[in-house]
Structure 1
Amino acid sequence: MSTTGSGSGPDPVDHLAALRTEGDLLVAAVRGADLDATVPGLTWDVRTVAVHTGSVHRWATDLVRRRLPAPTGSSAAFTPADLPDDDLAAWLTDGLDALVTTLRDAPADLACFTFVDGIAPRTFWRRRQAHETAVHRADVEAAGGADVTPVPAAFAQDGLAELVGAFATEAAYAVDRRGLLALVPDDGPAWSVRFGDGPHRVTTGPAVDVNAADAVVRGSGSAVYLWAWNRPSPVEVTGDDAVLALWRRVRVT
């Protein structure tokens, strides 16, 4: 992770509370959804998103509960073979309840697998599952054609720190083409991503020079957060389309 500024600073987000809130919103959205509706920006329908999220919740619960040093399989191992549509919301709720309880009861010195260096496992999993749930909650809401419930500005910044400041800097996303992308929330610090010459280099806070960027994405923190997750979002996008396209290589679901 290569950052400058506040991306790795004190965490103002109560991830457990956010996970509970986002999970309850997800369940409510699934209850009222057409499960066959296509999710904008994905090839999945609502049913697939819901089952994926519930399976990830159970996978993470098992990993943390057993303090596994490495995953024993993927979340697909926790996907039910034949789940009636009428039972989907209750199944999601059961998995969410177990996840929240497991993460609440995990000790501060929890030792188990994570996939971002430098973050304590308990903090990592609380954070990761809060954002996993928030993004897929937005997916389900968007599939219904309704306005997507915005996330708070602090939560959006926390999600950008995870996605832009950590995941996007992985070597697998490196590209040869050079370019500078700026993400500019109107309610929090800006972020920049410099492409080319190895893994993406990320900067946040006052050091970001928006005027030097080849492409700029502006909007509320919530809108920029969803855009960064490659979801449809009401942001203002200006600049070089080719540089914007470089970001689309970052695919995390």
Structure 2
Amino acid sequence: MSGAALIDHGRLLDVLVTEGETLAHSAPPDAMDLPIPGRPGITVGTVLRQAGDGYRGALAWMRDRGVPAWPVPEQRASDPRAQPGVADLRSGLVDLVVKLGEHEPDEPCPTWWPQDQTYGFWRRRMAHESTVHRIDVQAALGGHVLDVPEDVALDGVDEVLLLWLGHRLRTRGITGPHRCSLGIRAAEHAWYVRVEPEGISVFRAAPTGLTNVDAVITGAPSAVYRWLWGRAPDHTVRLIGDRHATAQLWALLRLATA
């Protein structure tokens, strides 16, 4: 299996299709101006444009070897020629799924993560991108927000910690002022996070090995997944130990995933 995914890449491609279609079906035309909870200034229409741009952005990396060639969401929002959100989303989703289906997951492909330069990276990245966008839209509509299957949630926890927290912040030169260590535990999986002024380190760990840490975040995989992505409040997970450490982790994740 290519890259660091915890689940099969065939499963990830299925998730991309399912979550992308669910996202499109969740957004009726009269909901475009609804605000997304916890994301000031972001509406359902903005999320749909961001998702469509994300699909085309992934295609641009594959086609142009890492040189994105698509308009940013703000430009698309003001472009009178831009397609309606749902139509644009579906068009980008279909093109992306077709492209990914033409290549094996372990086939080399440009990405922005040095540890995984394969088409499998994009299956994983866009599956979770679609899942998070779908959660946003369903939350904005005020109805039931579908749960994230346990295997998908565990893989998503792994991705947001290793890729976004452990890699993305390093490329931006961002770290935390409060030196601390944290453990994240969900089901039979665990991760160790070390925050120092010199940088942030993230490792997979044994669930029984999170003893010498300042704080632990634990809970059902779907709840931990949503909390790490800033899509669930503190009471949905267990925060054990130093609350300064968990608050700093929360803040760092918001910078990483912005």
* Shorter-chain TM-score tier: 0.7 to 0.9
Q: How far off is 1:83 after superposition?
A: 6.5
Aligned to 1:194, the other structure's residue is in SS state strand
| Counterpart residue type for residue 132 of structure 2 | V
Equivalent residue, structure 2, for 1:227: 227
Give, in angstroms, the shift of residue 200 of structure 1.
1.8
Which residue number in structure 1 is paired with residue 156 of structure 2? 159
Structure 2 equivalent of residue 245 of structure 1: 247
SS at match of 2:80: coil
Q: Which amino acid aligns with 2:156?
A: G
The question of 1:125 aligning with 2:115 is answered no
Secondary structure of 1:173's aligned partner: coil
Quick check: 1:169–1:200 contact (8 Å CA) kept in 2? Answer: yes
Deviates more, 1:124-133 or 1:157-166: 157-166
Counterpart-to-counterpart distance in 1, 2:34 and 2:81: 18
> Which residue number corresponds to residue 88 of structure 2?
91
- Tell me how far 1:130 sits from its aligned partner: 0.6
**2:53 matched to which residue of 1?**
55
Deviation at residue 71 of structure 1 after TM alignment: 1.4
| 8 Å Cα contact 1:181/1:213 also seen in 2 | yes
Q: How many residues align?
A: 243
Q: Supply the distance in 2 between the matched residues of 1:121 and 1:225 (Cα, whole angstroms).
A: 24
Alignment of 1:96-111 (within 5 A): 96-107=93-104, 110-111=107-108
**Structure 1 residue 203, shift from structure 2 partner:** 3.0
Q: In the alignment, what sits opposite 2:80?
A: 82
Tell which has more relative contact order, 1 or 2 (C-alpha 8 A, sep 6+). 1
Return the letter of the residue paired with 1:182.
G
Tell me what 1:176 maps to: 177
Task: Tell me, yes or no, if the aligned pair for 1:173 and 1:199 is still in contact at 8 Å.
Answer: yes
Corresponding letter in the other structure for 1:57: Y
Structure 2: runs of 5 or more not aligned: none
Contact 2:188 2:207 in 1 (8 A): no
Bigger mean CA deviation after superposition, 117-126 or 33-42: 33-42
Say if 1:184 and 1:32 are closer, same or farther in 2 by CA, change over 3 A.
farther
Q: CA RMSD in A?
A: 2.7
Q: Is the 8 A contact 2:6 2:155 kept in 1?
A: no
Deviation at 1:21, TM superposition (A): 0.8
In terms of fraction of residues, the more helix-rich structure is 2
Report the Cα distance in structure 2 between the residues aligned to 1:182 and 1:205, rounded to whole angstroms: 9
The one-letter code sitting in structure 1 at the alignment partner of 2:44 is V
Q: Deviations over 1:122-174 (max 9, x none)?
A: 01111111111111111111112223211111111211222102321232332
State yes or no: 1:212 paired with 2:209. no
Correspondence for 1:4: none
Q: Tell whether the 8 Å contact from 2:138 to 2:145 is kept in structure 1 after alignment.
A: yes
* 1:176–1:198 contact (8 Å) kept in structure 2: no
Q: CA 1:115–1:57 in 2, change beyond 3 Å: closer, same or farther?
A: same
Supply the AA of the counterpart residue of 1:249: L
Partners of 1:59 and 1:75 within 8 A in 2: no
- Secondary structure of the residue aligned to 2:181 is strand
Residues 108 and 89 (structure 1 numbering): CA distance in 2 closer, same or farther, change over 3 Å? closer
**Does residue 1:193 correspond to 2:198, yes or no?**
no
Q: AA paired with 1:241?
A: R
Give the partner amino acid of 1:174: T
